Amino acid sequence: MNQLLRIPAILPASFLLACAIFPALAQKAPIQITADLSDAPRKLFHAEIDLPAAAGPLTLTTPKWIPGTHMPIGPAASITGVVLTGNGQPIPWRRDDVDLYQFHLVVPNGVSTIHAHLDCIVTRRVSRKLAVLEWEKLLLYPANTPVRDIPIQASLIVPAGWGVGTALTPIGAGAFPIPATGATTRFAATNVEQLQDSPIVAGQYFHEFPLAPGITPKHFIDVASDYPEDSNLRPALLAELSNLVREADALYGSHHYNAYHFLLTLSDVAGGEGLEHGQSSDNGVGEKGYADDAHQLADADLLPHEFTHSWNGKYRRPVGLYQPDFATPQQGALLWVYEGMTEYLGHLLAARSGIETQAQYRDVLAITVARLDYTPGRNWRPTEDTAVAASILRDRDPVWSNWKRGQDYYNEGELLWLDADTLIRKLSQNKKSLDDFQKIFLGKGGNTGPLIVPYTFDELVTDLNAVVPYDWATFLHDRVDKINPRADLAGIEQGGYKLVYRDKPNAAERTVVAAGGPRGGGLDCWFSIGLRIGADGGIGDVRWNGPADKARLAPGEKIMAVNGQIFSGDALKAAIRSAKGNSEPIHLIVQADSFVSTVDLDYHDGERYPALERVDGTPAYLDDITKPLTVPEKAPLSPKKDDE
Ligand SMILES: [Zn+2]
């Protein structure tokens, strides 16, 4: 059912723009695309595509700017085996000299369908046992046309016995989610914009679990893993994910999908991922990423974050980040809302749904705020510039990254929206909160099917004022556009806590380290000597103007020995402790390229790790923010139980 019919009469012009897509669909024959994942274990996807065409010049294109990635990383370089035919005869093509994603051809007289074969070499999100298809890897369609106006019908072939999860609607023959061996699954016709937004997860060890029965529309998690035991998720986790669905329902008060599918891979080979879509999300963690509470803490906010994007990022999208095709550059100036507010909401939903505890939420927040506070690049680059420059800052290269700043709009945004939430609570005597803003901003238009409704900065200000009148424009500009040498600590302080440093890591950090470390691993000496160090002593980054910087250490060097002992994490920590309160420097032997030198580190304040400490006698808004809105599921929901 098309829920567009439920949109009320008074609508912003952007709604009308977004809704105008459907009449065009009815008038054209759809492109037919069959994605063949039979060779996915060998890192190849294949496509057979039939494109309606008329005689004369035609330009086809592959996608360049992929929504949600915030950068031009379409797969043009990985596409191979491109062969075009018409009525069985080869049709020559020539790549555009400037736009390398485009193919020019001339459709011969008498040809009404161009058949295209292409392959894509895929090195991420595949393993011997599973694959994720993000459709942009195989798409080919007419250039210079809004992608929402191009109808397309997709079919899928997967290796025999593999299960399939997707938000696409299967039609006709072929059992689902496990298609009959060798069968082709056909999906209902959609448009290129929506197909690109509807990935597939497929795998040999596959489970689909319904979540939160009783909540409409329906929610599922579709899991594929490299080993059979991993995709059969723990009942406790499934209960928490059902809580997540109920909490999001209570928080947002609207939805913008016909059904929602969390797609999840558990694999050390297929790689980490978190990519949002309107009716699903593509999530990847390690093989044991959800095997127990300790492992799941490192990625506690992953599923809540990507789920939240269905509202914030997909349904409501900054005007510059929504372009009519995948060729026009996307503009990231409002990513501190798209990603930053999602970061805030993802973490609080993780706590509200019990994926992490309230105490773990605070511990993780302490690390986030401390890292931002110890990012010296904030002295020259405003947060907004990290958003505007997002597409050139996503390399994650650690070398001097604290002086450059990376994608700080995520975590700066988290602190900004925490600041706004606690301020609304303070101004309203805790009668209102950012939850009220979400219902206005993300629920505009009521419940809808998948839809994109762009917004501007001014709309944010208007909607915040509808919750509590305040000078929100200045509030936002001060935190986003200006140089702020300190991180925004106001949210934590208004929330009844303060940031402190202790000589031991907080409990959440200890849990994550004991479970194998955070993604990226390494030793946390950032707040003491100012180094990011791998387990082997390799220096990832040096804190600008910190003790190690003053001792002229550099990223890429390797610490070989500490105070006369061969390097180990324990030896370095012991040296930091023993230098506390005296004047004896820490003696290092350091390798730089093929040279070795001695370095003295003049640092005497001991180990330092961030934590949040309650300030007695102040309102504990931070605890209110992380309390569930719904009654948490008590008895774990297990698929076995459902069968009984
Ligand atoms: Zn995100």
User: How many Å lie between the centroid of ligand 1 and the Cα of residue 314?
Assistant: 10
User: How many Å lie between the centroid of ligand 1 and the Cα of residue 276?
Assistant: 7
Distance from chain centroid for Cα 154? 25
Structure tokens that stand for 338 in this block: 């798209």
Mean pLDDT of 210-222: 96
Report pLDDT digits (tens) over 58-116: 999 999 999 999 999 999 999 999 999 999 999 999 999 999 999 999 999 999 999 99
Report pLDDT digits (tens) over 331-351: 999 999 999 999 999 999 999
Q: Which helix (H) or strand (E) covers residue 230, if one does?
A: none
Q: Residue 389: pLDDT above 90?
A: yes
User: How many Å lie between the centroid of ligand 1 and the Cα of residue 70?
Assistant: 10
User: How many Å lie between the centroid of ligand 1 and the Cα of residue 478?
Assistant: 23
The C-alpha atoms of residue 621 and residue 623 are separated, in whole angstroms, by 5
The C-alpha atoms of residue 526 and residue 294 are separated, in whole angstroms, by 23
User: How many Å lie between the centroid of ligand 1 and the Cα of residue 487?
Assistant: 21
Cα-flanking dihedrals φ and ψ of residue 54, to 5°?
A: -120, 155
At a CB cut-off of 8 Å and minimum separation 6, what does 640 contact?
235
Tell me if the pTM is above 0.75: yes
User: How many Å lie between the centroid of ligand 1 and the Cα of residue 302?
Assistant: 9
**Inter-residue contact 451 to 19 (CB < 8 Å):** yes
How far lies 108's CA from each of 104, 105, 112, 489, in Å? 13, 9, 9, 65
The C-alpha atoms of residue 592 and residue 559 are separated, in whole angstroms, by 9
**Inter-residue contact 601 to 326 (CB < 8 Å):** no
Structure tokens that stand for 611 in this block: 């934590």
The C-alpha atoms of residue 424 and residue 624 are separated, in whole angstroms, by 13
C-beta atoms surrounding 143 within 10 Å:
18
User: How many Å lie between the centroid of ligand 1 and the Cα of residue 104?
Assistant: 35
C-beta atoms surrounding 90 within 10 Å:
9
User: How many Å lie between the centroid of ligand 1 and the Cα of residue 94?
Assistant: 37
* Beta-strand pair 280-285/259-266: parallel
* Beta-strand pair 31-36/151-157: parallel
User: How many Å lie between the centroid of ligand 1 and the Cα of residue 112?
Assistant: 41
Average pLDDT score over the chain:
92
User: How many Å lie between the centroid of ligand 1 and the Cα of residue 339?
Assistant: 5
User: How many Å lie between the centroid of ligand 1 and the Cα of residue 99?
Assistant: 28
| pLDDT-based confidence at residue 9 (cuts at 50, 70, 90) | very low
User: How many Å lie between the centroid of ligand 1 and the Cα of residue 289?
Assistant: 19
pLDDT at 643: 30
pLDDT at 340: 98
**Inter-residue contact 283 to 347 (CB < 8 Å):** no
User: How many Å lie between the centroid of ligand 1 and the Cα of residue 316?
Assistant: 13
Report pLDDT digits (tens) over 147-202: 999 999 999 999 999 999 999 999 875 556 777 677 899 999 999 999 999 999 99
User: How many Å lie between the centroid of ligand 1 and the Cα of residue 337?
Assistant: 10
How far lies 79's CA from each of 73, 117, 120, 470, in Å? 13, 11, 4, 52
468-475: long-range pairs with CB below 8 Å, 24+: 468/424, 468/427, 468/428, 468/432, 470/423, 470/427, 472/420, 475/420, 475/423
pLDDT at 634: 61
How far lies 479's CA from each of 182, 413, 420, 501, 549, in Å? 56, 9, 11, 24, 28
Distance from chain centroid for Cα 481? 24
Q: The sheet that has 218-225: what strands, in order across it?
A: 205-211, 218-225, 259-266, 280-285, 273-276
Higher pLDDT, 173 or 260: 260
Structure tokens that stand for 116 in this block: 């295209």
User: How many Å lie between the centroid of ligand 1 and the Cα of residue 274?
Assistant: 7
At a CB cut-off of 8 Å and minimum separation 6, what does 559 contact?
533, 537, 539, 567, 572, 588, 589, 590
State whether residue 383 is helix, strand or coil. helix
Q: Identify the CA nearest to 487 among candidates 314, 333, 368.
A: 368
pLDDT at 3: 26
| Alpha helices for 481-525 (secondary structure H) | 490-494, 507-514
Cα-flanking dihedrals φ and ψ of residue 541, to 5°?
A: -150, 155
Per DSSP, what are the bridge partners of residue 566? 561
User: How many Å lie between the centroid of ligand 1 and the Cα of residue 304?
Assistant: 10
- Which 8-state DSSP code applies to residue 226? S
pLDDT at 19: 38
pLDDT at 523: 84
User: How many Å lie between the centroid of ligand 1 and the Cα of residue 624?
Assistant: 24
The C-alpha atoms of residue 306 and residue 346 are separated, in whole angstroms, by 8
**Inter-residue contact 548 to 530 (CB < 8 Å):** yes
Candidate from 6-10, 144-148, 156-160, 205-209 with smallest mean pLDDT: 6-10
Q: Residue 21: pLDDT above 50?
A: no
- Which 8-state DSSP code applies to residue 281? E
User: How many Å lie between the centroid of ligand 1 and the Cα of residue 315?
Assistant: 13
The C-alpha atoms of residue 113 and residue 130 are separated, in whole angstroms, by 33
Q: Residue 265: pLDDT above 70?
A: yes
User: How many Å lie between the centroid of ligand 1 and the Cα of residue 312?
Assistant: 9
User: How many Å lie between the centroid of ligand 1 and the Cα of residue 488?
Assistant: 20
**Inter-residue contact 557 to 592 (CB < 8 Å):** yes
User: How many Å lie between the centroid of ligand 1 and the Cα of residue 343?
Assistant: 7
Per DSSP, what are the bridge partners of residue 84? 116
C-beta atoms surrounding 10 within 10 Å:
7
The C-alpha atoms of residue 486 and residue 209 are separated, in whole angstroms, by 45
User: How many Å lie between the centroid of ligand 1 and the Cα of residue 257?
Assistant: 18
User: How many Å lie between the centroid of ligand 1 and the Cα of residue 503?
Assistant: 33
User: How many Å lie between the centroid of ligand 1 and the Cα of residue 349?
Assistant: 14
User: How many Å lie between the centroid of ligand 1 and the Cα of residue 279?
Assistant: 15
Report pLDDT digits (tens) over 416-475: 999 999 999 999 999 999 999 999 999 999 999 999 999 999 999 999 999 999 999 999
User: How many Å lie between the centroid of ligand 1 and the Cα of residue 305?
Assistant: 6
Asked if omega into 235 is within 30° of 0 (cis), the reply is no
Mean pLDDT of 560-575: 97
User: How many Å lie between the centroid of ligand 1 and the Cα of residue 340?
Assistant: 8
